[in-house]
Amino acid sequence: MNKEVLKNSLDACEVFCYDEEKVNRIKNRVEEVSGVELIFKALADSTRIKIAYALTLEKELCVCDVANIIGSTKATASHHLRLLRNMGLAKYRKEGKLVFYSLADDHIHQLVSVAMIHSKEDLYDGE
């Protein structure tokens, strides 16, 4: 038997059957995730996740701070911050000629923090 075929047979059911009551109960609930993928899409960009992580380390940063942290121009930093704001992940306030950004709420802070903790774990040791 081909190793790939063997590998695939180990991680899938060998027969097709399902728990109808369980499936019916859950099937409609999974539609509630509609729109959640946009949060992950916004954070899937390495520059934006760096910005979001920086905003977990410091409550508020101005666009110039962010540009220096990520090693970009103000325009690039502003572009990414605007996208995070438009996605509801960040908020801003203007103070004179400066614009300060922070994470929109504690949920986003927790999401980024948990992702960072998860990424540092050795999840695949022993597999």
Q: Where are the domains of the chain?
A: 60-121
Q: What CATH class has 60-121?
A: mainly alpha
Res 124: pLDDT? 57
* pLDDT tens per residue across all 127 residues of the chain: 445 544 556 778 888 888 999 999 999 899 899 989 999 999 999 999 999 999 999 999 999 999 999 999 999 999 999 999 999 999 999 999 999 999 999 999 999 999 999 998 866 554 4
Give the tokens for residue 1.
Answer: 């038997």
Alpha-carbon torsion angle 9, 12, 17, 21, nearest 10: 170
The pLDDT of residue 126 is 45
- Which phi and psi (to 5°) does residue 91 adopt? -135, 165
The helix-helix angle for 36-43 and 46-57 (nearest 10°) equals: 90
- What are 77's two structure tokens? 């930093």
- Counting every residue, how long is the chain? 127
3-state DSSP call for residue 91? strand
pLDDT at 13: 82
Taking the CA atoms of 82, 85, 89 and 95 in sequence, report the sign of the dihedral they define: positive
Question: Would you say 113 and 103 are in contact if contact means Cβ atoms under 8 Å apart?
Answer: no
Q: Facing residues of 94 across strands?
A: 99
